[in-house]
Structure 1
Amino acid sequence: MKKIFISLLIPAIFLWAKNIAYSDEVVSLYLNKDDAKVIGKLLPTNPFEILKDQNNKVMIRISGYINPKFPSVIYFNNSQRIIVAAFSKNIKLNYSQIKKGEKGKWDKVNLEIWADKKDFSKDNRKMLNHAKELFVNNCGICHALHSEKEFNVNAWPAIFKSMVNRTSIDKKDQWLVIEYLQKNAKDFKIK
């Protein structure tokens, strides 16, 4: 029992020490702390590290994968289109490469960037449970509720967006539900 507790405690301490956080809503991103122009968006449920806290902004480190041919999007894993953050195409981003992708897989990168300061969470389970409730309570009104595993990662955003206007899901929660559906899709792969 003691070994199990220690094996669970060490990763938790590591995550806490790194100041890992999550947002349950879309967060605006900026190149510099004093910028007013939004150059990107961080999507809900994705982990990021808070590096600095200054007034109404925080510097964060986002980790993920980029397709070198289209570097304006950071993805959750190296082959599926689960968006972590997306940026204006004409913005030059200063990625630090962690690992070069091989055999058609995308490059693993970090990006340090400024974000609006919000009430971030240390855990994304509560927000994922909220997303599941929104899905279950709204997406079976007109038809039988689809299983999260019924569609693949890349299909869920289009399917959800084609029907969301028939639900009472707030616009601010739409990406939360999409991220939940993608991370529970039949072909979802952990990083």
Structure 2
Amino acid sequence: MKNLLRSLRDLFLKPSVRIGLGVLVTGGFIAGVLAWQGFNTAMEATNKEEFCLSCHTMHDNLLPELQKTVHWNNRTGVRARCPDCHVPHDFTDKVARKMQASREVLGQLLGTIDTREKFKEHRIVLAQREWKRFSANGSKECRACHDYKDMDFDKMRPASQVAMRKAAERNQSCVDCHKGVAHQLPEMKGARNPAFDTLVSSAAGQSVDAGKDYFLVVPQELYADEGMTKRIGAIEVATQVKVLETKGDAQRVELALWRKNKGYGRVWYSHFGLNITSAVLDKEVALDASFVKVLDTKEDPMTGLEWQQVTATAWMRKGSVLDSVEPVWSIARASYSSSCSVCHRQPEEAHFDANTWPGLFGGMVSFTSMDDDTARVVLKYLQTHSSDFSTSHGAGSPDSALQTARP
């Protein structure tokens, strides 16, 4: 064994006495060429669409989606293949992307995304990785075919001209506006805005005094009992409550809101006459006169509907309130500005009234990557900063929980 080890050491560390230096150099050169050729051949083979579709996850999930788009079949016959979009054209970036793609291959081998259900569950993660890459490189792969300098803006539809000219001026990444052009958008409900983690952390350290008003930083379930075993409804983010007492992990709070006096009256709103949802109760609880106290009744002159000012107490988990709503609005304001301005200039908050915003926002949010929690808080932010609360319209502060009249 010692002789074998000594021979191996001499082979690698001592100059050869039998093989000439020229032969060694030539052999090394040939070996390097063969290694490079093998590497290049492997790179080319894995860059072909046939290789991509040989994985049944890609073939069964993504190919059918692509085949329904203009990138697969169009009047000019120019088709985008998988590597055209998902493999960088520059060598260094290509190698880096190949290394990153090993995670998807590993996921397939380990069974993480080997079924339709698993693929849909993890799709948001896969999509966000690609969106991040496209945003970082300015959608370089897209612009190999769709470059701003080659576009004839005058031949576009008027609405498209405005958006595309502004995008060209900013040299904007294509993926900012054109997510879902070749594949279906993932379900966003699995996503989470990390900014909310900061709010939750702040709420956990918030000192709470009985009898004072606070604002929810995240939606919460409502319960009838201190042990939180009987659910009676849910309360929305940014809703103002009065904390009455804290026992263990539970807090008893008082809700003072408005509801329409029709149907079951399950949906409670923050302001009279404005559809700004703050809480939703179970039907039996909403109809229980011993639980719900009606303080006042008014008719909305705009709709003729009768509204009731109501109050009730319920239990919820502690550690979810702050003494100011402004941190919540800061996240909503930033999300609205960043997500709703990539395709066009977003409307001012006070451009529409509170009852108009839900329909408009609902039509726009599907074109963004907002998760459900962020979308809900942004909508509430827009409603509470709408023209109904604009100082030019003579309204009061949107933080007032009990507005007695429509502005």
Q: Which runs of 5+ in 2 are unaligned?
A: 1-208, 390-394, 397-402
Counterpart in the other structure of 1:134: 335
1:68 aligns with 2:265: no
- One of 146, 150, 158 as aligned partner of 2:347: 146
- 8 Å CA contact 1:128–1:180 kept in 2: the answer is yes
- One of 298, 320, 326 as aligned partner of 1:101: 298
Point out the more displaced range, 69-78 or 99-108.
99-108
More strand by share: 1
- One of 314, 324, 327 as aligned partner of 1:113: 314
Counterpart in the other structure of 1:51: 244
**Alpha-carbon distance between aligned partners in 2 of 1:82 and 1:73, rounded to the nearest angstrom:** 10
Counterpart in the other structure of 2:371: 170
- One of 213, 217, 220 as aligned partner of 1:20: 213
Point out the more displaced range, 151-160 or 97-106.
97-106
Counterpart in the other structure of 1:83: 277
Deviations 1:146-181 (A, max 9, x none): 111222212222322333233232322222111100
Which letter does structure 2 place at the counterpart of 1:126? P
**Alpha-carbon distance between aligned partners in 2 of 1:51 and 1:122, rounded to the nearest angstrom:** 14
Who wins on radius of gyration, i.e. which is larger?
2
Counterpart in the other structure of 1:12: none
Which letter does structure 2 place at the counterpart of 1:181? L
How big is the alpha-carbon RMSD for the aligned residues of Structure 1 and Structure 2? 2.2
**Alpha-carbon distance between aligned partners in 2 of 1:79 and 1:128, rounded to the nearest angstrom:** 22
Alpha-carbon shift at residue 119 of structure 1 (Å): 3.2
Question: What secondary structure does 2:226 align onto?
Answer: coil
- 8 Å CA contact 1:26–1:175 kept in 2: the answer is no
Point out the more displaced range, 68-77 or 88-97.
88-97
Deviations 1:84-103 (A, max 9, x none): 11123343441122223256
Change (3 A) 1:17 1:54: closer
Which letter does structure 2 place at the counterpart of 1:39? I
**Alpha-carbon distance between aligned partners in 2 of 1:165 and 1:36, rounded to the nearest angstrom:** 36
**Alpha-carbon distance between aligned partners in 2 of 1:26 and 1:179, rounded to the nearest angstrom:** 12
Counterpart in the other structure of 2:326: 125
Q: Which runs of 5+ in 1 are unaligned?
A: 1-15
**Alpha-carbon distance between aligned partners in 1 of 2:230 and 2:312, rounded to the nearest angstrom:** 18
- 8 Å CA contact 1:24–1:176 kept in 2: the answer is no
Deviations 1:60-83 (A, max 9, x none): 101011212142121111111111
- 8 Å CA contact 1:78–1:105 kept in 2: the answer is no
How does the TM-score come out when normalised to structure 1?
0.81
Which letter does structure 2 place at the counterpart of 1:187? D
- 8 Å CA contact 1:25–1:175 kept in 2: the answer is no
